[in-house]
Amino acid sequence: MRKQSVPPPERTTPARAAENSGSGALDDVAALVVFAKVIQQRSFTRAAHQLESSTSAVSKRIARLESRLGTALLTRTTRHVSPTEAGLALYEHCLRILREVENAELLVADFTAEPRGLLRISAPVYFGELNIAPLLAEFAHDYPALRIELSLSDRFVDLTAEGFDLAIRLGALGASSLGVRKLARDPLVACASPAYLQRRGTPRHPKDLVEHDCLRYTLSSQRGRWHFRGAKGEPLQIPITGGFDSDHSGALRVAACAGLGIVYLPRFYLADSIERGALVRILADFSRAPIDIQAVYPNRKLLAPKTRACLEFLARELPKRMARCEAIAKSPLAKAS
């Protein structure tokens, strides 16, 4: 007699647990899930969308939680919601609980399951637009059950507090509890427009930069100094000044193309301008060590299949895209005469 297979139980989302469960520990955990999502999204509507629930159900759940605790947890405005002092304290504690809940779910889940659900990624604006967005479009075709949300911002997001699954970071990382996956490397290159070099001359050594207008990136901790390597590999720190500063690398690239001065940025920012002949690379023999391009993610014992699949995809495909920038920077047009 043929043995009949027993279908797996239907997966219950946190929102459905919040709506259907009675009082007790499970109900408390479900309430914390809803509360955390509302804070992360700063909106009842967006939280309801993530939880596959309705705005009214989420609002009622928060109201019951506030009633049970006897204090307001959220301040509501017409545009968004924000935590009160009590709400923020609760949120910081419940994050640990939610992390353990997620780890427990991963332990009993089929770890080879197809990536699904919402994958939230943060990346720097220009790098994300140039490289990450096209790659994620390819990645999305491979996993139709996955929903992707890409946030482009040059600030360092708080992955846990803001609900991101991973973030792309450029350059050295400070000490943190985040997991790290190196994806690629990219050197810093110095460039200027042909018109600027004709007018002011071409620097032959980094020390010559003290006589030039340098375009400074204000978010750098070393905005007043540029770092190079000497002929024997020794580090060189060059003080720089100029008449144009910005907190956005794209603005510095535009200024350099307009002949305002010399720019010193990761190669991917400047590769297209070099290819067009709008910028010319200088001081190529003094380039410092390349910067790391890395993915960071909440450091859990087990990664969700969606996060693990995305990390593997980016680690495989991003170096291929970066190779184009390398070919451009090595072309004859890229060196000053």
Say if 207 falls within a structural domain: yes
In angstroms, the CA 285 to CA 134 distance is 32
Identify the pLDDT of residue 24.
52
Per residue in 133-162, pLDDT (tens digit) is: 999 999 999 998 899 999 998 888 888 888
Is a pLDDT exceeding 50 seen at residue 237? yes
Token readout for 29 is: 């955990």
Say if 63 falls within a structural domain: yes
Say if 333 falls within a structural domain: no
| Interval 305-325 mean pLDDT | 89
The answer on 253 and 199 residing in a single domain is yes
Q: How many domains does the chain have?
A: 3
What's the length of the chain? 337
Identify which of 155, 159, 179 has the alpha carbon closest to the alpha carbon of residue 167.
159
Choose one of 108, 141, 164: the last residue of a domain. 108
The answer on 317 and 182 residing in a single domain is yes
How much is the pTM? 0.64
The answer on 178 and 222 residing in a single domain is no
The answer on 95 and 49 residing in a single domain is yes
The answer on 318 and 270 residing in a single domain is no
Here the CATH number for the domain that contains residue 32 is 1.10.10.10
The answer on 306 and 161 residing in a single domain is yes
Is a pLDDT exceeding 90 seen at residue 296? yes
> Which residue type does 226 have?
W
Which three-class secondary structure state does DSSP give residue 83?
A: strand
Is a pLDDT exceeding 50 seen at residue 114? yes
Is a pLDDT exceeding 70 seen at residue 21? no
In angstroms, the CA 82 to CA 39 distance is 6
Choose one of 108, 126, 154: the last residue of a domain. 108
The answer on 280 and 198 residing in a single domain is yes
The domain in which residue 41 lies consists of 14-108
